[in-house]
Structure 1
């Protein structure tokens, strides 16, 4: 088979990435369901999520570190991985879980999907990458979509308490997650995707455990055993499996293709929220989602073109 006749994206990489993106999109659904069924707080639920995920990442770290291709990290690299893990999966997750107490799952996923635009801003401000005219158009599409969906959400349910506060928290989550994505793009090529994922998640877990030890409601862990099911679901299906699937996707098909395929995330969340949580789907939400996804895809396509893929 000639190189010109090979598929642009390997089928296995496409399927792994697609499944990973869909599984990641279940996080908001599980969290919203847990809040409604158990009335737990965000920190407790996040602690359970990471407690059940911890053994998987410990094993992954042990296996990766024992491989011949293992890269021994410098102190600076250790500190960077720890910082990115704390930023991307401790701080971001905490902001996100708290925000989900106030906003719908569909709106949460749309706001979170702003993170690629923040990556563009970070690269422009700190790494001197010029924002092209096409990228500016993509950013305009993305933010127009968020505005339309947000105004539609307010019009649809103006009585929703804490909507603005929850939106701000999720917005802050998108900002911190974009820092994680930008930093991971710099260090994964050096130390490897699986090693980065394992140790970044271990750092995040340490931060969450310390936070819970200092301020958490410890008695809930013994009395609220129904929470354990939600923690296990979040750990396995919305954290461990998708995190390694996306890492493998990055390895097999590249970051830009992963970003493009991940455009299914908001659509998947909105559909799951409608059929599982009973959230309404309205015209402004659909139109806004289309604009946001198109804007993110355009940003990803321009990055791919510029990189010469």
Structure 2
């Protein structure tokens, strides 16, 4: 049985959702290739974590079983694919539209959690999720109809939603046995290796980049990764992947607000209405969902 968490996992979801909302903004601030952005995001994360892993968790490596190595590796590959697809989508479509589509992961996680863990969601939970998804779609609806390159960006973002769901599903299993620091360090390291191979295979230059870009890479490591993904991975020990996925539906709200102040993207009436709908849906899911196993 898992020990009681040191603080509310639901509070952790709020903190992590705010943190990951910065990701799209950082990506928009650099012209580096998507693969390079993702590589340095995770490479800096791994470097920041390395001293703590060596100091406190190095002894755990020998206790990782073969199954957990395999699942962690698969999670790392899915995470790498997620970053490549999503970051690339931001080159073709708006922050709002990309974030909306990539956060539709509950549609994938509900199916995945059912087949992997036999987890079913209550009727109230389904209604809450669909309400939050509807709010997300409403926010980005005007952009969906632009077509052309925006449509390509939307497709890439949707594929990003599917791959990040795979990352969470495999992580939910492993995190119940491995410590947060060891699991995330292994996954981030594997993902960095995959991304580096991707960059080299396509001939992307790993340097030089202007100082602004290096600050963006570090910002991506600190905020949406260490304070975002890592906190989600802490919470997933006590909460289901469905709960994590629904919480992330709040990301478009934070991203839209940040895009307004930093990128000058307008906040529309549709975004305000969609925000209210998303918050209502997330509340309904968190308040009334009681997942059951078949």
TM-score interval, smaller chain: 0.7 to 0.9
Aligned with 2:175: secondary structure?
helix
Q: Deviations over 1:234-281 (max 9, x none)?
A: 122222233333344456x74587667655432211110111111111
Residue in 2 aligned with 1:56?
A: 48
CA contact (8 A) 2:175 2:236 kept: no
Structure 1 residue 208 displacement after superposition:
0.7
Q: Structure 2 vs 1, CA of residues 177 and 301 (structure 1 numbering), >3 Å: closer, same or farther?
A: farther
Report the structure, 1 or 2, having the larger helix content.
Answer: 1
Q: Structure 2 vs 1, CA of residues 129 and 229 (structure 1 numbering), >3 Å: closer, same or farther?
A: closer
Structure 1 residue 17 displacement after superposition:
4.4
Is structure 2 residue 172 aligned with structure 1 residue 185? yes
Is structure 2 residue 103 aligned with structure 1 residue 103? no
Residue from 103, 114, 118 that aligns with 2:104 = 114
Is structure 2 residue 68 aligned with structure 1 residue 77? yes
Q: Deviations over 1:28-72 (max 9, x none)?
A: 0010122xxxx33212222222332231243344345335x7771
Q: Structure 2 vs 1, CA of residues 178 and 208 (structure 1 numbering), >3 Å: closer, same or farther?
A: same
Instruction: Give the paired residue count.
Output: 288
Is structure 2 residue 185 aligned with structure 1 residue 195? no
Equivalences for 1:36-185 in 2 at 5 Å? 39-66=31-58, 72-88=63-79, 90-154=80-144, 158=146, 162-185=149-172
Aligned with 1:93: secondary structure?
helix
Is there any run of 5+ residues in structure 2 with no aligned partner, and where? none
**Taking structure 1 as the reference length, what is the TM-score of the superposition?**
0.79
The alignment's C-alpha RMSD in Å is: 3.1
Residue in 1 aligned with 2:204?
A: 217
Q: Structure 2 vs 1, CA of residues 176 and 279 (structure 1 numbering), >3 Å: closer, same or farther?
A: same
**The 10-residue stretch of structure 1 (275-284 or 221-230) with the greater mean CA deviation from structure 2:** 221-230
- Bigger CA radius of gyration: 1
CA contact (8 A) 1:114 1:142 kept: no
Is structure 2 residue 192 aligned with structure 1 residue 205? yes
Structure 1 residue 163 displacement after superposition:
1.1
How far, CA to CA, are the matches of 1:56 and 1:40 in structure 2? 22
Structure 1 residue 13 displacement after superposition:
5.8
Aligned with 1:163: secondary structure?
helix
Aligned with 1:82: secondary structure?
helix
**The 10-residue stretch of structure 1 (50-59 or 73-82) with the greater mean CA deviation from structure 2:** 50-59
Residue in 2 aligned with 1:243?
A: 229
Structure 1 residue 298 displacement after superposition:
3.5
Q: Structure 2 vs 1, CA of residues 133 and 19 (structure 1 numbering), >3 Å: closer, same or farther?
A: closer
